[in-house]
Homo-oligomer: A and B are copies of this chain.
């Protein structure tokens, strides 16, 4: 590292990613590491009920209260259009209770099988009064589970323009079209302009 690089590194803003997931941290560093010094903290944060942006906002405020440094929280939803966005932020409880198969069967009585995966990144820092939020969405259809079942509802979400579910896809392909990447890109765009 030469003198310039040293100065650059020390000027980088530090952002704490609120997660215990080292893979998520790696992904953030890969995408945003040039501009930010990214670290992570496995903060245990209660989640409220309510509209998705509100849930995410409250969580970010709590995270910032706990950590005391600029931080980012992530909220993921799977929203069914036939149910006007439900199960949305509650999808993890449905998945836990009924599994991917049960979750997909919820739509059997409805013609409309479309839905979207949503990621909300909420950034809160000392310079802000309220978190700034970045929403990424990927449209698709809800199908019966296909592919490995390691990642939550990935086996039942087939993004538009693809014949594979998130779970069946090559990870690199998924990461390029994912709701998370879209939210991360908005996050970066914001900080490049501001």
Contact = CB atoms under 8 A, between A and B. Distances in A.
Contact of A108 (B47, B90, B108): B108
A99 to B, nearest CB: 9
Nearest to A90: B90
Interface in A52-103: 58, 82-90, 93-94, 97-98, 102
A101 to B, nearest CB: 10
Interface residues of A, number: 26
Nearest to A110: B105
Interface in A95-132: 97-98, 102, 105-110
Nearest to A108: B109
Nearest to A102: B83
A161 interface: no
Interface of A: 46-50, 58, 82-90, 93-94, 97-98, 102, 105-110
